[in-house]
Amino acid sequence: MKVGRLVLALVAFAALLLFPIGIANNYYIHLLETIMIYAILLFGLDIVVGYTGQVSLGHAGLFGLGAYTAGVLVTKLGAPLLVALIASIGVTALFGAVLALPALRVTGPYLAMVTLAFGTIIQILINEMSFVTEGPMGIKLQKPPLLGHQLDEREFYWLVAVLLVLSLIVVHRILRSHLGRAFEALRGSPVASDCMGVSVYRYKVYAFVISAGFAGLSGSLYAYSEQYISPNTYNFELTVLFLLAVIMGGRKSRVGAMVGATIIVLLPKLLDDVEMFRYVSVGLAVLVLISAVIAVRRERATPAQMAIPVVGSIALAGLAFWLDAMTDWRLSIFGVIMLFVVYYLQDGIVGFVRDALNLRRSKVVSDVSLDGASTPADAVSVAAAGSDGELLQASGVLMQFGGLKALNNVDLKVRRGSIHGLIGPNGSGKSTMMNVLTGIYVPTAGSISFGGRSLVGRTSSDIALSGIARTFQNVQLFGEMTAQQNVQVGLHHSFASNLVDVALHTPRYRRESAAAATRALGLLKFVGLESLALEEARNLPYGKQRLLEIARALALDPQLLLLDEPAAGLTAPDIKELIAIIRKVREHGVTVILIEHHMDVVMSMCDTVTVLDFGQKIAEGEPASVQSDEKVIAAYLGGQDIEAQPA
């Protein structure tokens, strides 16, 4: 399989290189060159849009910035090609950072607005700063010399092809690495990312900066390719086109980016040429029909679901024959195709083809061999030598939501090496306590110290890295990632490799990556999920998802593990398994705080139990004494009997 793909890639690359020899027409060479240049930008944009799930409307601006950096350096300073390319990458990455640092504090529509404003400002600046950019006149430049040799059309094409492949390899390596997993994780569940020590904010900015760098490279190549740049190329329309290319081609896919680039370059030209459009629309209709038939026969889709794409593409072909000229209809057809994609091809063309043909994503989790997975016993590393005494000490914790005191003056002391139960009726503040301990909420008042250091005011990722791991009452997995990748996100802290290590696959990166893959398998084995390592987390049964969350939390090498109702929704055999796992965790020296509604679980496992009611601590002590405490019984009787408290 892997060899097959390599051969396919080599054949494709050879075809790309041979194209200008087979087809000597400069028009087509230039067209393919433009597609490749756009593809480089889209590789980068996909990191932001596809992986981290942010919307950027600023990429046309970054593209323009790259083009003008090269243009100005070449015309004003006579900079050589390599200097211009590297400077463009550097300048756009820098501007990307300046844009991202404040912009990514906000999300959703705000981010789109900020990036849109950025793109507009760049365009205006290029227009107005005529002393460097020549303003609306634009800049003319020549094809560059490389190492003393003047490149002609064809040689420049080859340069672009080589840079495309290099970009592809670098992007692919980034996305396969711990960095790529961080990008994907923060989209899957921001709160879980932070609690696994992967700072959502930092990695959003990181993704944006990398993406901007690719936009810069792409822009500078575009300047040489067109030999003329002017401000109005880098407008709003282009930015929308880029975004649609990613979505249409298929996000989280390099092939998708290339397909997307091809579409946005060819489609406008296609709509200018009615003859050509007729052929293509018929071809498309046939393709859609075949895919639909295959999809229905393989029971990947119902005939009803497939009806609209099929009818739509046939109607488009019909329209192409009915119309004499496309020019007036260009924009409308463009719009209809866009709508069609957004409604029916949400995973893009690549996703659609993959689905229809039942090709699953390659399940290679990492490039390293997975031999020699550690035994379960090695999986959980032993926490710092357990001196007795308090690991965690909270005093006078107040958490106020408006008028509601979810936690009211709560003291909590957790002994090192113990399993500490936290119980109470629904809404009594148990989960709130966990959120306060993990930095998701900052307490209104009170102090919390963990291993002698204060936790108040520190970020979730910082707290996680200092040794507190957790699971969530509502499971927070990275759904589109495999079980093993989920655990590998928890192992993010074990990587010291940077972007250069990842791009070059240095020995350090290979070592760390191999160790993390092995360790992740060991942890999966520890919770009994090793056979599901390559399954996407969202496809696991609920009980297994809860176990996976525990494995992921253990990957942090925590001193303290917080479990928020781990048995909720589990079947009786699953609960037994869970109890055994929690015991094993404790044997490895990890301290546990356990929120649980199943009283048999709490009573059989906990060394100490704290009871909350309406945000206040009403009892604390050994399980047996707490169970017979009158205040506790009364609190539970307000709802149900203590033994019968539902999950």
Subset of 414-443 contacting Mg ion (CB under 5 A): 431
Nearer to Mg ion, 70 or 578 (CB): 578
Rounded least distance, CB 422 to ligand ADP, Å: 8
Q: Which does 424 bind (CB under 5 to 8 A by kind): ligand ADP, Mg ion, none?
A: ligand ADP
Nearer to Mg ion, 457 or 569 (CB): 569
Q: DSSP letters along 147-182, please?
A: TTEE--HHHHHHHHHHHHHHHHHHHHHHHHSHHHHH
User: Taking Cα atoms as reference points, which of 586, 594, 531, 605 lies closest to residue 565?
Assistant: 594
CA torsion, ordered 168, 170, 174, 175, to nearest 10 deg: 10
Residue in this structure with the two tokens 């009980």, named with its chain if needed: 543
Rounded least distance, CB 243 to ligand ADP, Å: 33
Rounded least distance, CB 192 to ligand ADP, Å: 17
Rounded least distance, CB 269 to ligand ADP, Å: 53
Angle between helix 483-490 and 507-526 (nearest 10): 110
Nearer to ligand ADP, 428 or 485 (CB): 428
Nearer to Mg ion, 409 or 473 (CB): 473
Strands 139-140 and 228-229: antiparallel
Rounded least distance, CB 424 to ligand ADP, Å: 6
User: Taking Cα atoms as reference points, which of 356, 270, 351, 344 lies closest to residue 313?
Assistant: 344
Rounded least distance, CB 631 to Mg ion, Å: 20
Nearer to ligand ADP, 193 or 432 (CB): 432
Subset of 464-483 contacting Mg ion (CB under 5 A): 473
Nearer to ligand ADP, 49 or 592 (CB): 592
Q: Are 497 and 506 in contact (CB under 8 A)?
A: yes
Nearer to ligand ADP, 251 or 405 (CB): 405
- DSSP H or E run through 413: strand 404-415
Rounded least distance, CB 551 to ligand ADP, Å: 23
Nearer to ligand ADP, 305 or 426 (CB): 426
CA–CA separation, 14 vs 19, rounded Å?
A: 8
Which stretches of the chain bind ligand ADP, using CB under 6 A?
401, 404, 406, 424, 426-432
CA–CA separation, 96 vs 496, rounded Å?
A: 24
Strands 453-454 and 616-621: unpaired
Residues with Cβ < 8 Å from 404, sequence gap 6 or more? Answer: none
CA torsion, ordered 194, 199, 201, 206, to nearest 10 deg: -140
User: What's the angle, vertex CA 621, arms to CA 618 and CA 625, rounded to 5?
Assistant: 90
Nearer to Mg ion, 189 or 431 (CB): 431
Q: What are phi and psi of 287, to 5 degrees?
A: -60, -45
First and final C-alpha spacing in the chain = 46
CA–CA separation, 378 vs 521, rounded Å?
A: 11
Could you say whether residue 127 binds Mg ion (CB under 5 A)? no
Residue with CB nearest Mg ion? 431
Rounded least distance, CB 434 to Mg ion, Å: 8
CA–CA separation, 365 vs 177, rounded Å?
A: 10
Nearer to ligand ADP, 191 or 515 (CB): 191
User: Taking Cα atoms as reference points, which of 103, 97, 112, 107 lies closest to residue 212?
Assistant: 97
What DSSP character marks residue 495? -
Nearer to Mg ion, 301 or 563 (CB): 563
CA–CA separation, 647 vs 635, rounded Å?
A: 17
Rounded least distance, CB 427 to Mg ion, Å: 8
CA–CA separation, 527 vs 523, rounded Å?
A: 7
Strands 591-595 and 419-423: parallel
Q: Which does 193 bind (CB under 5 to 8 A by kind): ligand ADP, Mg ion, none?
A: none
Q: Which does 64 bind (CB under 5 to 8 A by kind): Mg ion, ligand ADP, none?
A: none
Rounded least distance, CB 471 to ligand ADP, Å: 13
- Using CB under 5 A, count the residues that bind Mg ion: 2
Rounded least distance, CB 565 to ligand ADP, Å: 8
SS3 call for 2: helix
Interface contacts to Mg ion, rule CB under 5 A? 431, 473
